[in-house]
Structure 1
């Protein structure tokens, strides 16, 4: 049975928004009902069975609006399956996993979410905003490093976890959902 999934994101230059759209498309391809929304436009998470939250990562920090979203919905998220991702590394470090910023790590622990997966980002002159980003985009770090195979595979893993939860609930003698979240 299809799950209702929210993919919420915070993006500065559009790269994280694109990743969120691909995650949403992959989940739809697996039969789920998905809304992909900027975190600032989410009215509530009541209708969703599961939530994916992603943020652009700048100087090892999540966008403030993404942290605010997690903080505002912590109790509701605790009752759902939650996956986190961040994007941003470019250049020679693009394939290295980034640790979650302390505030995000704390909120992920409160929610019961596993650590955020890191996706390489995009930095292009045409979309660079702010002095530092424009300066970096003019140098060696410019380019699109996003790994669409990795993004789609991660979304397929989320779908498999959602499907497994559905199957396991058929055999569960108690009608309440399991505590905590599942690995993403």
Structure 2
């Protein structure tokens, strides 16, 4: 493994993009080259030896760009180490317990033999796009529930697995 990792994400308001950047930063500190890209813009998987895909959760579904990315690149993803993450709960539950993947993500994990999945807390703040998102914020139920130390710990585990694989080959 040469160490080039793609961190692709689907987001509406940018929260999941910030998580993807944090994951990539940890991978870089561990010696990997990590590219971060919106899932809808990735055309070629050839340069990447491993992939992390994240998607915001909306009404119990992964962001459409993450879903489409996984479908469009399924053959390439099945040939590479793959990890998935979701972001979304607008409360502390993601930090308190393991939240299983939503059904569509669980199906993708099985089909693509993903190495793991984690759900991180979400973030919905003033200025959010979408009628429902604005209503959630105006009702006082928004906020930033992302836990960046937990995100970095998870990304370090991904990096450790990649290092072990690199050493084995």
TM-score, normalisation: structure 1: 0.85
Once the two structures are overlaid, the 10-residue window that deviates more, 147-156 or 89-98, is: 89-98
Cα offset for 1:83?
Answer: 0.2
Structure-1 separation of matches of 2:157 and 2:32: 13
Q: Deviations over 1:126-174 (max 9, x none)?
A: 2x111211111123322111100011111111110000001122xxxxx
Contact between 2:2 and 2:49, CA under 8 Å: does it hold in 1? no
Match of 1:74 in 2: 74
SS at match of 1:125: coil
Aligned length: 168
Structure-1 separation of matches of 2:130 and 2:139: 15
Spell out structure 1 runs of 4+ moving beyond 4 A.
none
Q: Where do 1:1-184 residues align within 5 Å?
A: 2-95=2-95, 96-126=97-127, 128-169=128-169
Q: List gaps (5 residues or longer) in structure 1.
A: 170-184
Q: List gaps (5 residues or longer) in structure 2.
A: none
Contact between 2:81 and 2:115, CA under 8 Å: does it hold in 1? no
TM-score, normalisation: structure 2: 0.93
Structure-2 separation of matches of 1:134 and 1:93: 22
